[in-house]
A and B are shown apart, each in its own frame.
Chain A
Amino acid sequence: MKRLYTVAVAAMGAVLCASAVLDARAADSPKIVTLGASMQLTGADTNLARYFRDGYQVTVDRINEQGGIRIGDDTYRLALKILDNQSNINLGIQQYTQLITRDKVDFLLGPYGSNHTLNESSIAEKYRVPMVEGGGAAKQIFDRGYRYIFGTAPPAENYFGSTVEMMTKLDPSVHTLALLTADDAFDVAVRAGTQALAQRLGIELVVDQVYPEATPNFTSLLALVKSKSPDAILVGGHEAESLNFLREAKSLDVNARYLTSLTVGVPSHDFRIALGKDAEGVFGMTPWVISPVMRDRWFGDGQQFAQLFQHRFNYEPDYHVASAVADVETFAYALEAAGTLDREKVRDAIAKSDFESAYAPIRYQASGQIDIPQIVIQVENGKVMPIYTDHFLNKPNYPVSAWTKRNK
């Protein structure tokens, strides 16, 4: 009997010790803030959506490696929950609902692209869950009076802003313009902004055509452009369209008199690889270039971030990746400032964001979108050369030679 009593006391003691150890561990282990996103991991938009997925992941990991974030008196680690929407907007809408109602994520990060963001951000607004995104640039996303959507991509309407302004300062200056834009939300916004800008600066639009994003075939439009001999050609589209446009322009020997510029593609490494020498001289734009100027609490600066990112993912980051960094960092700063996970308080803290990141200084306007200038860039010897912001940074290769004179 005495032996049985001894064993029972020992067993109880062991259980108490074990539970005490587990409690202590639980107290030590940081709590988790989960950021959820529905991304195009497969499907037609995969190539560019991966920039956001990789940008989110590298930032979450970096913040956690450096001890996480302090919210009130507790240390929290960040976690990501990313679902694959197969480049399907309807599925994306379902998945954001699922992330909020079933998976119980704390906050939302955005998908890639204005079309997706325009539709899927409505779920965030409906459930009053703050969403920070860098994939949707169309002003339409932010013109609806939504309170919970914040965007780190500069407004699509102004993508060609610095380019058109530069055109008036170049010698010879640009007087006639061909504008070709896709029919998605982003490019519709690009078109509207560029039309207004050209009118204001007295540049004549000799061609102004919209093409289908899903099945772009530029041959007829190029014949039309050639017949008008514009001083400049501006193309609004995504990477696939930009590639098609340049290849078809070369094969049909269509040249702008002075320059050609594309909204998307030029800053991306794989775009320049795919085109090889044919990318030389083409203009583009980016709100971000790799530079040590921008300081970042977790990455040091923009250049250190780029090195770390390239080492991990084996490709050079572009502005999409950098804006994804700012998306995650927005939550990190806002959570610390709010001192709570309360969504309303975090939303208010996001609205008051004011910090430096590897991407840009982050300060949201009342609409929820940041407004940073686009840097005009040009491909020179396979590299991206910054040319113009509101002043010239480098001397451009201008006027750009015609295709027939370029490779001789």
Chain B
Amino acid sequence: MLLAQILLNGVLLGGLYGLMALGMALVWGVLNIVNLAHGAFVMLGGYCVYFIFTGLGIDPFAALPFAFLAIFVLGYLLQRYVLNLIVRSAQLNTLLITFGLDVVLTYLAQLAFTADFRTINPSYAGANVTLFGLTLPLLRFAAFVAALLFAALLWVILQRTRLGRAIRATAQNLTAARLYGVDPAQLYALTFGLGVGLAGAAGGLYGMVAQVTPYIGATLTAKSFVITIIGGLENPFGIVLGGIVIGIIEALASIYIGATFTDAISFGLLLIILIVRPMRGLRTA
């Protein structure tokens, strides 16, 4: 029963990890930008939902679309007027600028919101049900379902809409896409907005199961990076699956190897994957 509960916990945690990584995978796949500020957008999304919930009394799940939109707009503007300036330069430049962006966003958040711990704590935050002797935390389950829904939505956008086709075409062949009338600057801004908007929504869910401070970003960026490598960039469901794999591995390692080794095991797995299948699928979205 203990093993089953640990597996269940790992799957639910992994779903949330997967949602966090979805946006990073999208931006990486299409723009070839490894967004080191990804966790900062998760953090900003967390603050959005926190203030909508505590200030306006709107349910945090209902606040998720607002967080998505707010961070989408921020991401769009940043890509359009800042990141587009270096999007085709050496990857080191994009790493440097997103690292700088992460520092700026983090410190601005501390100035604006202080370093107080903020928790998004609706009345049902600790609710759970018992099924077959296992405890199912409802909020984590809802976050897991939301992750699947966002992954499905992203898949539909990429596969079934004109925007999605343009995104995939640009990722596959920029020159050909331009010949067919795609405006890369506009498309990159939309893609980056979409990616960080998803991070913002994930931040709202993260704030419901943990707490939001200006400094949560770096760890979440690292986690998203590992999951993106594991899940590949081909399919949003692959990313969610990658998140679940990491969630389960961490949950099992926590008990059977030692909780202090969970990060070492996650990053060790990353190393093994990079050795066994370096960058497979990373160039197609």
Contacts and interface: CB of A to CB of B under 8 A. Distances in A.
Interface of A: 42-44, 46-47, 50, 87, 183, 209-212, 214-215, 217, 219-221, 223-224, 226-227, 239-240, 243-244, 247-248, 250-253, 270-271, 274-276, 278, 403
B119 A223 contact: no
Contact of B254 (A217, A253, A271): A217
A252 B255 contact: no
B5 A223 contact: yes
Nearest to B4: A223
Nearest to A209: B259
Interface string B35-63: 00000000000000000000000000000
A30 B241 CA distance: 68
19 contacts: A46-B110, A47-B115, A47-B117, A210-B258, A212-B262, A219-B6, A219-B10, A220-B9, A220-B10, A221-B254, A224-B2, A226-B135, A227-B1, A227-B2, A240-B117, A240-B213, A243-B119, A247-B121, A252-B9
Contact of B13 (A217, A274, A278): A217
B210 interface: yes
B137 A274 contact: no
B263 A215 contact: yes
Q: Is the interface of A mostly helix, strand, loop or mixed?
A: helix
A243 B137 contact: no
Contacts of B259: 209-212, 217, 220-221
B2 A271 contact: no
Interface residues of B, number: 42
Contacts of A244: 210-211
Contacts of B140: 251
Interface of B: 1-2, 5-6, 9-10, 13, 107, 110, 115-119, 121, 125-128, 130, 135, 137-140, 209-211, 213-215, 219, 250-252, 254-255, 258-260, 262-263
B119 A251 contact: no
A274 B210 CA distance: 11
Contact of A403 (B10, B126, B251, B263): B126
Contacts of A209: 259
A214 B263 contact: yes
B141 to A, nearest CB: 10
A243 B263 contact: no
Contacts of A275: 119, 121
A248 B259 CA distance: 16
Contact of A239 (B117, B125, B126, B219): B117
Contacts of B219: 214-215
B120 to A, nearest CB: 10
B211 A220 contact: no
The interface centre, meaning the residue of B1, B126, B211 with most chain A CB atoms within 10 A of its CB, is: B126
A221 B121 contact: no
A221 B2 CA distance: 10
B268 to A, nearest CB: 14
Contacts of B135: 226, 252-253
Given A217-B262, A219-B251, A221-B255, 10 more contacts: A44-B213, A215-B262, A215-B263, A219-B6, A220-B251, A220-B255, A243-B117, A243-B119, A247-B211, A274-B119
A274 B118 contact: yes
Given A220-B254, A224-B2, A278 B260 contact: no
